[in-house]
Structure 1
Amino acid sequence: MRRRGRGIVRTTSAAVWCIATVATASSRPAFIPGPGSKATATTTLTRNSRRKRHAIMIPPPFSRERVVIESIPSRIFEFGVQRFASDWKSYCAIPIIAGFVGWFTNYLAVQMIFYPIKWRGLPIYKVEGEPFGLLGWQGIIPAKTLKMSEAMVNTTVNELLTMEEIIQRLDPDVVSRILLPQSGLIVRPFVDELLADRPKFLSNFVTDYTSDTNRGMIKQRFAEKFLRDLTADVQENINTICSLRHCVVGKMCSDRSLLGRLFQISGKDELLFLVDSGLYLGFALGLIQLVISLYFDNPWTLSLGGLIVGLATNWLALKWIFEPVNPLRIGPFSFQGLFLRRQNEVSADFSKFFAEQVLTSRQLWKSMLTDPTTLPEWEKLIANRFATFTSEVTLGAVNLKLKSRKLKAASARVCATLFDYLEGLHDYVDQALEIDQTLRARMMAMTSVQFERVLHGTEAKKADHQVNRENEATKA
């Protein structure tokens, strides 16, 4: 009787196993034996025989919960396949369209950063210093040139360059030789203003000096001495007669395309990656959107997905460009922001553009001679130098008072016309100051945190705090 019972259990177990397997494969609910069936009797028999040494346990696949759970994924997958097959062309278009949307939105975003240079739209309402108005747009960088150029001077240029250092590279002897042919014209306003009521011999004395040929009683060596001493005065007082901030910001604001071109040249690879990444990331996100649309066919899902694709591609691309700031090693791999990995190349592009287009000799002299904050100091310097020089070469016969109204007026006229006579000096100054080489070397020596601020100036304050923490840690 016991052997017969065991045979019934084995036969029934095999039957139930087959039923469960077939039910799972066909994605149908598994057969669950009801009351009074042989399977129930067998199960009861098994339970009653657990206490016995030779009792037989039913395998886990016979569990009702496991059979039902295993059938759910197959049903979901089968449903998705059927939906995809019913309109596969439309579903295949989803990742393609998402890739295009990602690329186009990134491209449009980059264009809106730099263009248009001037605000375009209906002149109803325009927010000063902002790219938008009531109906119109201006490139973000052109609109924020004043703020961004000031931030660049404060966080980058001032840390790398000092006028007191680079102006010392000028050789007064070379400057005097270059400007010697123009020396008479430079001081001509002093002659017209100050010597008109002097004795005739003094007027002739200085008039011969101010002629283009520099012949007469004042020899060429006196003219060279005047120019050498004037150059030395400029070098000694450069901090009061030159504002690096006014020079850079003034140049940027006079041509609002400059700052944008500087960023486009320095960050050309990063901007290209920002645009192209929209295609790849958009396509990848579109695949996720495709799967979701198979099970949620509401019209708003595609619109919401497009919004998420546009935002996500921009956000991810910017993260990859600037983060991580410092190299992050994971096993044999090293990760760092794309912009930061190109530090040497960016340094070369940035410094070359800055030296050739922004901080040039022409811009330096123009800024010094027109800046309302430094022009009074220039007038004092010129007046003092001419008064000292005149007293020396005339052996005290002409003693000009520094507070004289005429001397101040003549000095103002000299400053107003001085820039016109410096044309031959610019090539030498650009070469002697070595702004390109100085900027490049010091930018390459920057830490990653400091260098990140060159293009990512909006995080300057955060970076400053991190730099301070690094410096404190180094000192400790």
Structure 2
Amino acid sequence: MPVLAAAIGFVTKVVAIEMMFRPIEFIGKPPIFGWQGIVPRRAARMASIACDTMTAKLISPGEIFARLDAERVAKEIEKPLLDNIEEITRQVATQFQPGLWESIPEAVRKLVIGRVQKQAPTIVQNIMESIKDDIDSVFDLKDMVVTNLVRDKVLLNRIFQEAGVKEFAFIRRSGIYFGSIIGLLQMITWAIFRFPLIMPFFGLVTGWFTDWLALKMIFNPKHPVRYLGIFEWQGLFLKRRKEVAAAYGALIAKEIITPHNVIQAVLRGPMSDKLFAMVQKEVQHVLDSQTSIARPLLVFAVGSTRYQEMKRVVSAQVMAALPDTMLYVEDYAEDAMDIRNTLVTKMQELSPEEFEGLLRPAFEQDEWILITVGAALGFIVGELQLLMVEHLTH
């Protein structure tokens, strides 16, 4: 009986952990008949909670961008940006007035392109300063994090599994330890009373209690407590928070809040229209100030209205070229932003209550499901145990 109870405890823990993460997508007939792992099913909520904690306690968009030097960014992307400006200028001029660009003397064309190119670094610096001054209007960190994690539920699973690898190992082992103890009590009770319901009852208790106790021991107590004056205990997850912080922060910095993802979110995210307005303003200002030689000819050839439209097209093409152009700045941005060390350091400074709030609330409301499943499995095994005992005794 103690051996079987230990097996029940172990199996119910393995099942509970699997149910947290698998399957990735719902299997069955929604919304009731079937199952989807708790973490993937709550992906949006979990990502939202994690992001709220990160932005409130750990890192802010303003802090990230404040570390970028606008002049250095301009220097990093200078060459691809200059190449793009020359190509964009040719394409737009040809589009709006076929033959016009070719009819302009080569010296004038070079002068126009040269003047715009000369101002390109200034454009980039001005745009970077505008972004840093009003980052919240062009970058939504929460939308970026939630979008990435909802789209990649496997990654979301990895975050929890890698951050809590030792806790999940403890949960599995605890089923054996606690199950054996309950099995001993079951054996003594059966030897005394021989009452048939003892088997399924103890199976249910083993499945329920071992799941409940293991989860409690992971997160409680939040601070070290000495019991019976003999041994001290603190929730494993909280006791190991420096190690968990290192794993969690490294994974978030490597997979989610990366320079590439941040730059793409700024350029293509839900607030990119405001960035486009910044780009358009800067580009149009430079075009007006630096094309004074050719401007009368351009206005005469294409008309004032189309000239304004041409400036907007130039701005749009510059904006379209930025994602590829900004690839050249990612290595510098990774060093300058230093997101990993920032996350790890600040996570390790969180109080136990704040640290628990980073991961647990996201799936806490579904813990009862895991405990209930453990109890049901334990009850079923208890019934099978009873049938086996009755079969052997007859």
Tell me the residue number matched to 1:296: 193
Q: Which amino acid aligns with 1:442?
A: K
Alignment partner for residue 20 of structure 2, among 113, 130, 140? 113
Equivalent position of 2:355 in the other structure: 451
State the structure with more CA Rg: 1
The superposition leaves residues 176-204 of structure 1 with CA deviations (integer Å, 9 ceiling, x where unpaired) of 22211211454455764478557648896
Instruction: Tell me the equivalent position of 1:13.
Output: none
Identify the residue that residue 308 of structure 1 maps to in structure 2. Answer: 205
Change (3 A) 1:426 1:450: same
- Confirm or deny that 1:384 pairs with 2:281: yes
Please give the per-residue CA displacement for 1:421-443, whole angstroms capped at 9, x wherever unaligned. 32222222122101111111111
In structure 2, the partner of 1:425 is: 329
Alignment partner for residue 364 of structure 1, among 262, 266, 269? Answer: 262
CA contact (8 A) 1:383 1:411 kept: yes
Gaps of 5+ in 2: 366-394
Question: In 1, distance between residues paired with 2:111 and 2:197?
Answer: 86
SS of the residue 1:452 aligns to: helix
Q: In 2, Cα distance between the equivalents of 1:357 and 1:266?
A: 14
Asked which structure has the greater RCO (Cα within 8 Å, sep 6+), the reply is 2
Say whether the 8 Å CA contact 2:171–2:215 is kept in structure 1.
yes
1:439 equivalent in alignment to 2:343: yes
- Corresponding residue of 2:176: 279
Q: Matches of 1:222 and 1:241 in 2, distance apart? A: 23
Q: 1:252 to 1:205 in 2, by over 3 A?
A: farther
- RMSD of the TM alignment (CA)? 3.0
Alignment of 1:346-357 (within 5 A): 346-357=244-255
TM-score, length basis structure 2 = 0.80
Q: Which moved more, 1:159-168 or 1:180-189?
A: 180-189
CA distance in 1, matches of 2:66, 2:109: 33
Q: Which residue matches 1:100?
A: 7
Cα pair 1:191 1:203 within 8 Å, conserved: no
Question: Which sits farther off after the overlay, 390-399 or 361-370?
Answer: 390-399
**Distance in 2, Cα, partners of 1:343 & 1:138:** 28
Structure 2 residue aligned with 1:319, among 211, 216, 221? 216
Distance 1:384 1:309, change over 3 A: same
Shift in Å, 1:223: 2.9
2:46 is matched with which residue: 112, 127, 148? 148
Q: Does 1:223 align with 2:120?
A: yes
Offset of residue 270 of structure 1: 0.7
| Superposed displacement of residue 266, structure 1 | 0.9
1:196–1:105 Cα change, 3 Å = same
Percent identical among aligned pairs is: 28
Paired position in structure 2 for 1:252 = 149
* Other-structure match for 1:464: none
Provide the aligned length of Structure 1 versus Structure 2. 352
- Cα 1:126–1:415 change in 2 (3 A) is farther
Mapped partners of 2:105, 2:195: distance in 1: 95
Specify every segment of 5 or more residues in structure 1 that has no aligned partner in the other structure, as ranges: 1-93, 128-132, 211-215, 462-476
Question: Match of 2:349, as an amino acid?
Answer: A
The CA deviation at 1:406 is 5.1
CA distance in 2 between counterparts of 1:454 and 1:203 reads 64
1:415 aligns with 2:312: no
Q: Secondary structure at the match of 1:422?
A: helix
Preserved CA contact (<8 Å) 1:189 1:414: yes
Q: Which has more helix, going by share of residues?
A: 2
Paired letter, 1:117: I
- Conservation of the 8 A alpha-carbon contact between 1:186 and 1:418: no
Where 1:218 maps in the other structure, the secondary structure is helix
Q: TM-score, normalised by structure 1?
A: 0.67
Change (3 A) 1:183 1:417: closer
